[in-house]
Chain A
Amino acid sequence: MKNLLKAQDLKAYYRLVGGTEIRAVDGVTLQLRPHEVLGIAGESGCGKSTLAAVMSLTHNPPLRVMDGLIMANGSNLLSLPPEQVRRKIKGTYISVVPQGAMNALNPTQRVRNFAIDMLQEHHPEMKKSEATDLAQSRLTDLSLPVRVLDSYPHELSGGMKQRAIIVLSTLLDPKVLIADEPTSALDVSSQRSVIRLLLTLLGEGIITSIAFITHELPLLRQVADRIAIMYAGKLVEVGTMEEIIFDPRHPYTKALMGSMLVPEKHVREQRIEAIPGVPPDLKNPPDGCRFHPRCPRRQEICSREEPLAKTVGDRTTWCWLMQ
């Protein structure tokens, strides 16, 4: 089936004063398929939030797209005029819940005004009462209390704020929802209610697919259909949830999986080891495979040449061991 959204050889760098470049996303090709939750996981600084910003077309200087395409419906969204992106793509085709969105609500405005502003941006002729009605009926459909519209942000719990933002961000039925760490500041019970809402939006057909960015692999094990693992600006492994969680192949994916602390027996049965070293500085990433300085299975070629993509079924791995 056709992809909803595809990043093709995407390179997005932060260009700093003095000409230094931080190569946060450095040659990423990734598809979002219809009717899936695609998890994008990695440690902080791996480029996952940068990828989310570019894929949702919300990137701003100093972040620049240096190369590559974002394809949807046969056109490259990066080459569309900004006005068209604002009216025809954002909110209607792609909607984004950026990291920390729940703390970005205007504290002096009732939540309702956020919905009105958003809807009138796309439908200037829409009356305030119509916008409110639309938001109300959507909340009711999703079994959320309508009172959140009359509340100020500080009157809502973190989980309720995040759910309200997700509902309001999807009022225009976007095909794609990009959610960047939507649950990372929440308690486990609120986290689960946010996840339940996302899955309901998918199940009801309000949205078609979700790109879920997180550093928490156990969470992706619960919600994702496919998982992409990023390291130092590049993808290292993409596969189905089962492949990545239960049978990781890339040494980085293996090490990352092995360092997860979950309340399950295997965690207490043996000492869990950290990955030695630290991720590289993306101003000056290492040659070859970017994981090679920390890799327990590095070969001579790993420090010289970048690994090529190797695809078997749904899984693609970028590692010389797989060649």
Chain B
Amino acid sequence: MVLANAVTQPEGVRLLLEVENLTKIFGSARNEVVAVDNISFGIYPGEVMSLLGESGSGKSTTARMILRLSKPTKGRIIFKGQDISTLKDIDYWRQVQMIFQDPFSSFNSFYSVHSFLGKAFRLTNNHLSESERTARMEQSMESVGLNAAELLFKRPHELSGGQRQRLMIARALLIGPDLLVADEPTSMIDASSRVGILNMLMDLSRKHKMSILFITHDIGLAYYTSDRLLIMNEGKIVEEGTAEAVVDAPAQPYTKRLLADVPTLRKAWDEEQELA
């Protein structure tokens, strides 16, 4: 089953990624934990989507399976028409890249920015000269708003959290993926720099027709960035729709409760609704 979204995509556009009846069970037969319970969804080329859920909902396990960091117990993941379990790591990761939550522990502190970015070329298989590589690095750093002249030979501890996360994105851009999976990319970044990083990701998605899958518990982030939202709870997708539809008119009780508990700016918490 594929849940297509007729609202944002014209007919005839093929899905970039299809998740079919995906299940992940941890533990032994006697003590099973069903982390992901038979979920299906698809992402179109250039689409920004959020997999939204609280801790323990199974969203990160789903992301790990999409990234091939974990094997599904059941079901399959199709990328551009091919089952990803049949693809080589290097071929897959050339097209699907990731950025993580913690920009402080994503780096080896012994490597400079230059050698960190240089390792990305191992994936892209092209035999560029040293000067061509450096030029590409500078270009990708500038495109994420980093000053290459100043930062290229610095080490991670000399960069702020926001700069490190931008650097992770610069690295992903060097590879030029069709899908970027972003697992809580701004939860450790200050409010004032956070919007800047999200704006940049949205711009890059538009410019390169790169799809982005945000994995997040942050409804504000998902609502601001995404075309579509998938709400996950206890391993299942409980609601799916455009960001406006899900936030303005949630259909499922779980989504309603979740939205009622999120602190917002214009409205005070409604105690009646909470007790209902």
Contact = CB atoms under 8 A, between A and B. Distances in A.
Interface of A: 43-44, 158, 187-189, 191-192, 215-219, 221-222, 245, 255-257, 259-268, 271-275, 278-279
Contact of B191 (A43, A158, A271): A43
A188 to B, nearest CB: 4
22 contacts: A187-B55, A188-B217, A188-B258, A188-B263, A192-B274, A218-B220, A257-B265, A259-B192, A259-B194, A260-B191, A260-B220, A260-B265, A261-B220, A261-B224, A262-B263, A265-B248, A268-B244, A271-B199, A273-B195, A273-B199, A274-B193, A274-B195
A99 to B, nearest CB: 14
B263 A187 contact: no
A158 B267 CA distance: 27
Question: What 8 pairs across the A-B complex have the smallest Cβ distances?
Answer: A274-B196, A261-B220, A275-B192, A218-B263, A187-B54, A43-B190, A188-B261, A274-B195
Interface string B28-72: 000000000000000000000000001100000000000000000
Interface of B: 54-55, 160, 162, 190-199, 217-224, 243-244, 247-248, 257-259, 261-269, 274
A249 B115 CA distance: 45
Contacts of B265: 217-218, 221, 245, 257, 260, 262, 264
Among A43, A264, A266, A273, find the residue whose CB has the most chain B CB atoms closer than 10 A.
A264
Nearest to B202: A271
Given A187-B217, A274-B196, A216 B223 contact: no
A221 B219 CA distance: 17
A218 B264 contact: yes
B223 A263 contact: yes
Contacts of A216: 263
Contacts of B196: 273-274
Contact of B220 (A189, A191, A267, A274): A267
A192 B269 contact: yes
Nearest to B189: A44
A257 B195 CA distance: 12
Given A215-B191, A217-B265, A279-B190, 19 more contacts: A44-B190, A188-B219, A189-B54, A189-B257, A192-B261, A215-B190, A218-B263, A218-B265, A221-B264, A221-B265, A221-B268, A222-B263, A255-B192, A257-B265, A261-B194, A267-B224, A274-B195, A275-B192, A278-B193
A158 B56 CA distance: 12
Nearest to A273: B195
A272 B195 contact: yes
A256 to B, nearest CB: 6
